[in-house]
Amino acid sequence: MLNALDKELLKTIAELDKLPQGAYHIRKNGKTLSRATTANINIETNEKENGITVTIAPGTVNESVHIPVILNQGGLNDVVYNTFIVGEDANVTIIAGCGIQCAGPESQGHEGIHEFHIKRGARVKYIEKHYAGGYGSGKRTMNPTTKVFLEENAQVEMELTQLGGVDEANRVNEAVLGPGSSLLVTERVMTDGDQKAASHNKIILEGDDSRSNMVSRSVIKGKSRQDFYASMVAKARSFGHIECDAIIMDNGTNETIPSLRAEHPDAELSHEASIGKIAGDQLMKLMSMGATYEEAVNTIIQGFLR
Amino acid sequence: MLELKNLSFSVVERDEDHHEQQLDIIKDMSYTFKKGKFYAITGPNGSGKTTLSKLIMGINKQTSGGVYFEGNDITHLSITERAKAGIAYSFQHPARFKGITFRDLLAIASKTDDEEKLLKIVRRVGICPLSFLDKPVDSTLSGGEIKKIELATTIARNPKLAIYDEPDTGIDLWTITPMVALLKREQVENKTTTIVVSHNRSFLEAADEILIFNHGEIIYEGDLKKALPILADFRICNFKPCPEGEKDAQCFR
Ligand SMILES: Nc1ncnc2c1ncn2[C@@H]1O[C@H](COP(=O)(O)OP(=O)(O)OP(=O)(O)O)[C@@H](O)[C@H]1O
Ligand SMILES: [Mg+2]
């Protein structure tokens, strides 16, 4: 059912050597390849038949859902709408990811729109990895969108990673936070050659005592370009922080615009942004411990994107 | 084991009127450090102590002169090559990273990521608690913590020549004595040639040889007893009051 290339892609994007434990749904070239549900986690094709709805029962703990997408059919632009409903007090990990293997001259793309409804007190860790490979000349695009709605005291941690090979990416993340809820987003993007990536983020702190931290780490190699926009809007007594750092390795370009807006006197918002080359003192330190220049650069970049 | 031959380091600076002006930071310095001995370098701020340390590590490139290590000319070797030859340097202002832990640095320094071996090094160093291992070496570390980590990464390399640039800055009172004892132990047990840049009396007392720097030159070499009057003298001239109306920042040096 899974061929060797599929397996390799799955390993890269979901760290899977074989079919995962627990609930999963594997989508290949726009169709369901394989699925499994558990007593607490249901996965169904949605009404419009353009995606899936994952429903996690209240109180489900220590379970995970894998929903990888793989593409290796030239000329296909796969658009998928997935909805996640995480029941009250559940505590689960959701692992998504998309791998494109491009062998020919035709473009291939994936647009995944993921909507999350996190009920009261639920905790979710969401991990999304994007990777494209193959020797074909076709353009590989990925435009992931996440929309997250957090009810009272919900906690969400999102790790969004684009490791390489994606020619064009337009990432959109939106979140609305209810009272006492918290959201931590870490986005890591590495681009090279002529690749372009843009990330648009909007986080609305709607409930009292909601908290959010958005961290972005960009590594820009070759002549690639990355743009990062993040805006945080506080409508209640809340706390928000944006931290975006970019390392430019060669001749890339980067634009970083964090924006903060407070509509409440007790909002506490802050941001830090930096763009620059690899720091000289970090290189010197590693080289003075015996690392070569190349090893030192690798160590710094790996740490930065960790 | 380490020989400096007519070593000079100068930079060209431009003043407000765009006149180029040469600053000689290390001036025609010649000195031989002997194997297994413990040296303390002291002297006023800006006298060139860090500059010389970085010249030895290869971080600064000399303007003229040469550096010989164990009889080999290393004048034109890179930082990495000097490190591999057995030279290690603890920075006065250690680098702070993102996403890199003490464990990562120790693993690079000691060329092993074996948990047991790493723990053994931390125990041998003694001044860092074991819980430090997974601390990120970033801007959240305190000034004293990062200096302890910096020192540990130097010891972990088992260098033939270890240079510590003001290892005691930010270190609490309770750690100074163990730190001096640690560097002495490394010197005695592993025959590590040790150079400590410091203003701290504990290090000066531990040293076999004291070097006093002033304006890029060695103005004294010898034991502590004869060094003390010179150091006392410095104290006077460094704190002399500014003449009335004097606005020149030089005055505060
Ligand atoms: N690359 C450089 N360009 C210009 N000036 C420099 C450079 N490197 C060092 N200097 C200057 O040389 C002088 C000596 O600096 P150095 O850092 O070696 O002093 P130090 O003896 O270590 O002082 P401290 O006790 O404050 O650490 C200082 O005045 C410094 O500003
Ligand atoms: Mg100094």
Considering only alpha carbons, which residue of chain A is nearest residue B150? A285
> Is residue B211 within 8 Å of B219, Cβ to Cβ?
no
Q: Do A285 and B88 touch (CB under 8 A)?
A: no
pLDDT reported for residue A1: 61
User: How many Å apart are CA A32 and CA A25, to the nearest integer?
Assistant: 7
Pairing of strands B209-214, B217-222: antiparallel
pLDDT band at A139 (very low <50, low <70, confident <90, very high): confident
pTM above 0.90, yes or no: no
Q: Residue A306: inside a domain, yes or no?
A: no
Q: Which of residues 190-249 of B touch A (CB under 8 A)?
A: none
Query: Could you tell me the two tokens for A175?
Result: 């979140």
Query: Tens digits of per-residue pLDDT, A161-171?
Result: 998 889 999 99
CB-nearest to B91 from A285, A303, A306 is A285
| B99 contacts on A by Cβ (under 8 Å) | 302-306
Query: Tens digits of per-residue pLDDT, B59-101?
Result: 999 999 999 999 999 999 999 999 999 999 999 999 999 999 9
User: How many Å apart are CA B195 and CA B89, to the nearest integer?
Assistant: 9
Q: Residue A264: inside a domain, yes or no?
A: yes
Distance B42 CA to ligand 1 centre (A): 14
pLDDT reported for residue B89: 97
pLDDT band at A199 (very low <50, low <70, confident <90, very high): very high
pLDDT band at B21 (very low <50, low <70, confident <90, very high): confident
**Least confident residue range of A36-40, A70-74, A87-91, A277-281:** A70-74
pLDDT reported for residue B10: 94
Q: Do A281 and B93 touch (CB under 8 A)?
A: yes
Q: Residue A164: inside a domain, yes or no?
A: yes
pLDDT reported for residue A273: 92
Q: Residue A51: inside a domain, yes or no?
A: yes
Q: Which of residues 202-221 of A touch B (CB under 8 A)?
A: 217
pLDDT over 70 for what percent of chain A? 98
Residue B46 Cβ < 6 Å to ligand 1 = yes
pLDDT band at A78 (very low <50, low <70, confident <90, very high): confident
**Least confident residue range of A101-110, A177-186, A232-241:** A101-110
For chain A, how many residues are written? 306
pLDDT band at B246 (very low <50, low <70, confident <90, very high): very low
Q: Residue A232: inside a domain, yes or no?
A: yes
For A50, the domain range is 4-279
Across the range B29-41, mean pLDDT stands at 96
Q: Do B83 and A287 touch (CB under 8 A)?
A: yes
Does residue B80 belong to the interface with chain A, where contact is any CB pair within 8 Å? Answer: yes
Q: Residue A286: inside a domain, yes or no?
A: no
Q: What is the mean pLDDT of chain A?
A: 91
Across the range B153-165, mean pLDDT stands at 96
- The neighbour count for residue B191, using CB atoms within 10 Å, is 13
Q: What CATH superfamily classification does B2-238 receive?
A: P-loop containing nucleotide triphosphate hydrolases (3.40.50.300)
Q: Residue A10: inside a domain, yes or no?
A: yes
pLDDT band at B245 (very low <50, low <70, confident <90, very high): very low
- The neighbour count for residue A214, using CB atoms within 10 Å, is 25
pLDDT reported for residue A110: 86
Across the range A224-252, mean pLDDT stands at 95
Number of structural domains, chain A? Answer: 1
Q: Provide ipTM, 2 decimals.
A: 0.90
Atom of ligand 1 nearest to the CA of B166: 27
Q: Residue A303: inside a domain, yes or no?
A: no
Does residue A279 belong to the interface with chain B, where contact is any CB pair within 8 Å? Answer: yes
Instruction: Domain ranges for chain B, please list them.
Output: 2-238
CB-nearest to A290 from B59, B80, B100 is B80
Q: Where are the beta strands (DSSP E) in chain A?
A: 23-28, 31-36, 41-45, 52-56, 61-71, 77-86, 91-101, 108-118, 123-133, 140-142, 145-150, 155-164, 168-177, 182-191, 196-205, 210-220, 225-234, 238-248, 253-262, 268-276
Does residue B57 belong to the interface with chain A, where contact is any CB pair within 8 Å? Answer: yes
Considering only alpha carbons, which residue of chain B is nearest residue A306? B99
Whether residue A255 has pLDDT greater than 70: yes
pLDDT band at A17 (very low <50, low <70, confident <90, very high): low
Whether residue B147 has pLDDT greater than 80: yes
